[in-house]
Chain A
Amino acid sequence: MILIVGVSHRTAPLAVREALAFPSEQIPNHLKRLHEGTGLAEAMILSTCNRVELYASADGANAVDSLVSCLATSHEKSRAEIEDSLYRLAGDDAVRHAFRVTASLDSMVVGESQILGQVKEAYQIAESAGTLGSALSALRNRSLAAAKRVRTATAIGRNAVSVSHVAVELARKIYGDMRGRQVLLIGAGKMSEIAARQLVAGGAHATVVGGRRFERACELANALGGTAVPFETLGQELARADVVISGTGAPDIVVSRAEVERACATRRHRPLFLIDIAVPRDVDPTVRQLADVFLYDLDDLKAVAEANLRERQREAGEAEAIVEQSVRDYLDWQRSLDVVPVLVELRQRAEQIRRAEIERARKQLGPLTAQQEEAVERLTSAIVQKLLHAPSVQLRELAGHGHPAADASFLRRLLGL
């Protein structure tokens, strides 16, 4: 049975999550201690900034307790201290949770892509620490496959939810491909740099307009593989640019309407995308009225980010359906495994009986020729195989659907094992 004990952004404030986090280099030690101390054969620790979870495969309520103790003692806390923010999941609920976490449906920002990598890494660490067995491996493979299916079949991760990513997404909504496009940076802030980096990665060329401290513009231009130009050339650069990201600390308007109008006159209706992330604003807000000019300030970008988040949540319904189907498939498969030991025993028992009966018959028949020997062997094997085939197949299937007839102890009694 899969067990999960943990805290997440849903149950615990940052302070608690912080206090319970496992630094990734210490995880192998904790896993080993958990394994040695409690005898849990399979364990995994997932520790991100939004969740700390311990996964295990074991039977019995004691196992859950050991996980809780491990989480508390690893951080020198008493169990009572963490009890309130803790959730304990077992069996189907735990499986469902694991699938939802991996598919980024339980994330703070639904659909964010980081979690997939973090989950992969957590399993990786458990694997190298030797605490990943067949149950958790199966959970890993199935949940990662489901998460990938969610990504490709829904738009859950498609729309940006951070301001700088929204700016990039908008640029793509206008220009499509960024190859060969000109990005003009006015001011060298962190946010403009993040956005510019992505545009450059998409094939755009960056130009940085320097202010009073020209060397900073040069540094940024170098980092972006672009060029730095003095502030006086802003007019010419505006005429050339496709995307302008302005984020200076200037108290007044830096890009005036007249300047944008002049630039537009030579652009022949090529759109100009102005992103103003400065507070107070750098770009005259009235340029919005000009044809072929798209101006987004910080509030506009935030509004788009919020709309994108709503869009993701709408897609999440679709994603939940995919995950639910994968969870059900996994559980069916898991349950069908429950009868495997019974079936193995049944075959061993049948083989025993067959052997014993051959011995008995041999005494009555006396010595047999090699040919006769083979015929008897084949005859008895065929009877056993054919008798057991249908029940084996059926039991696996019944077990997969959770049918009560496939209960292992019931079967053992029924079959006299």
Chain B
Amino acid sequence: MTAQVTLLLTLLLYTVVAVHASLRSLARSRILARWAHVAVVLAFALHTLSLGQRWAVAGHLPVVGLRDIATALAWVVVLVFLLVNAAARLEALGLAAFPVAFALTLVASLTSPSGRADPQLQSLYLPVHATFAVFGGGALFVAFVMGTLYLIQERELRTRAPSFFYYFAPSLERCDTLGGASAGVGLTLLTLAIVSGMLWSHAARGTYFSGSAKEWSAVSAWLIYVVLVVVRHRSGWGGRRTAVLAIAGFPVVLFVFAWLTWAMRFAPTTS
């Protein structure tokens, strides 16, 4: 079984899970419930296997090019969902996580892996920088979802006419705490990703900062999350403001990844 076949199987299973998450939340149907639990575990296992297979073929951590980045991000999104759900049962996160995991895996399975053999990809900085970046992206995704749920739940409570989301979204406190914690973890990882990226850039090109759009947007995202964490730290309750910041920061983070895949080239060699 090649990495591509494994990934297609993974995609199939994510389809089941994503459909279940949507049906469960939007139509209150549990028809797929029994299968969905098995599918999540199996999909994640296959997903991990396909990452391993890709790694073996590429000879370096498979985080280069659209296909590999999308696969890695989907994997982290599911992993983060599993961790958060195990710690604090949060079905609402699944509604966001699985469609995203499905979409990323779909994109990945439709593109062919980058076959670039660049000596810099053998650098030890690649796995370090990429791991920080991908996990940071996962944590900031959770912050984004919790921020969105916060605003939705706040709106429900303000209109005083509960609709579906009132029942579905967690309490404001839960959104705030979990969103704040995720943003904190995300910011730490983002910082480490930026620092390791700069060191890699210096090692490869002798310059820490080349002023590319990717680098600038990474720094802007970093600033947004710094403000978020500071605001939250000062008042103990982030509320609306941090929810909005968590939502605003995420597209900037996405841009970094999008730029990266669009350029199809990796950090130090691009400018």
Contact residues of A with B, CB < 8 Å? 153, 155, 159, 170, 172-177, 268-271, 288, 291-292, 294, 296, 300, 303-304, 307-308, 311, 314-315, 318
Q: Kindly identify which residue among B28, B173, B177, B237 contacts A268, using a CB–CB cutoff of 8 Å.
A: B237
The reply to whether B172 and A173 form a contact with Cβ atoms under 8 Å apart is yes
| Nearest B-chain residue to A172, judged by Cβ | B171
Is B216 part of the contact surface with A, judged by Cβ < 8 Å? no
A-side contacts of B153, CB under 8 Å = 173
Could you list 17 A-B pairs, sorted by A, with CB under 8 Å? A155-B167, A173-B166, A173-B172, A174-B157, A174-B171, A174-B173, A177-B173, A268-B235, A268-B237, A269-B241, A270-B236, A292-B240, A294-B157, A296-B160, A307-B161, A307-B162, A307-B166
The reply to whether A294 and B28 form a contact with Cβ atoms under 8 Å apart is no
A-side contacts of B60, CB under 8 Å = none
Shortest CB distance A252–B (Å): 23
A sample of 14 more A-B contacts (CB under 8 A), given A268-B236, A291-B240, is A159-B167, A173-B166, A174-B171, A174-B172, A174-B173, A175-B171, A176-B173, A176-B177, A177-B173, A269-B235, A269-B239, A269-B241, A271-B172, A271-B237
B201-257 at interface with A (beta carbon < 8 Å): 234-241
A-side contacts of B171, CB under 8 Å = 172-176
Measured CA separation A291–B172 after assembly (Å): 14
A-side contacts of B89, CB under 8 Å = none
Is B265 part of the contact surface with A, judged by Cβ < 8 Å? no
| Nearest B-chain residue to A273, judged by Cβ | B157
Measured CA separation A303–B173 after assembly (Å): 23
A-side contacts of B174, CB under 8 Å = 176
The reply to whether A308 and B162 form a contact with Cβ atoms under 8 Å apart is yes
Measured CA separation A269–B237 after assembly (Å): 7
Measured CA separation A177–B178 after assembly (Å): 13
A-side contacts of B167, CB under 8 Å = 155, 159, 311
Q: Kindly identify which residue among A174, A176, A268, A270 contacts B234, using a CB–CB cutoff of 8 Å.
A: A268
Shortest CB distance B182–A (Å): 16
Interface of B is mostly: helix
Interface of A is mostly: helix
B-side contacts of A314, CB under 8 Å = 28
Measured CA separation A318–B162 after assembly (Å): 21
Shortest CB distance B165–A (Å): 11
A-side contacts of B28, CB under 8 Å = 314-315, 318
Shortest CB distance A299–B (Å): 9
Measured CA separation A55–B162 after assembly (Å): 41
Measured CA separation A315–B167 after assembly (Å): 12
Shortest CB distance B91–A (Å): 11
- Contact count A vs B, C-beta below 8 Å: 63
The reply to whether A294 and B235 form a contact with Cβ atoms under 8 Å apart is no
Contact residues of B with A, CB < 8 Å? 28, 30, 153, 157-158, 160-162, 166-167, 170-174, 177, 234-241
Shortest CB distance A318–B (Å): 7
B-side contacts of A270, CB under 8 Å = 235-237, 239
Q: Kindly identify which residue among A170, A292, A303 contacts B161, using a CB–CB cutoff of 8 Å.
A: A303
| Nearest A-chain residue to B175, judged by Cβ | A176
Q: Kindly identify which residue among B157, B177, B241 contacts A173, using a CB–CB cutoff of 8 Å.
A: B157
The reply to whether A175 and B172 form a contact with Cβ atoms under 8 Å apart is yes
Measured CA separation A258–B173 after assembly (Å): 26
Shortest CB distance B16–A (Å): 20
A-side contacts of B162, CB under 8 Å = 304, 307-308, 311
Measured CA separation A131–B236 after assembly (Å): 61
Q: Kindly identify which residue among A300, A308, A315 contacts B160, using a CB–CB cutoff of 8 Å.
A: A300
Measured CA separation A294–B170 after assembly (Å): 17
Measured CA separation A304–B161 after assembly (Å): 6
B-side contacts of A159, CB under 8 Å = 167
Measured CA separation A105–B69 after assembly (Å): 50
Measured CA separation A155–B241 after assembly (Å): 32
| Nearest B-chain residue to A308, judged by Cβ | B162
Shortest CB distance A239–B (Å): 14
Measured CA separation A308–B167 after assembly (Å): 9
Shortest CB distance A294–B (Å): 5
Measured CA separation A373–B170 after assembly (Å): 76
Shortest CB distance B36–A (Å): 14
Shortest CB distance A167–B (Å): 12
| Nearest A-chain residue to B163, judged by Cβ | A307
Shortest CB distance A416–B (Å): 47
| Nearest A-chain residue to B30, judged by Cβ | A318
Shortest CB distance B52–A (Å): 37
Measured CA separation A307–B167 after assembly (Å): 10
Shortest CB distance A301–B (Å): 9
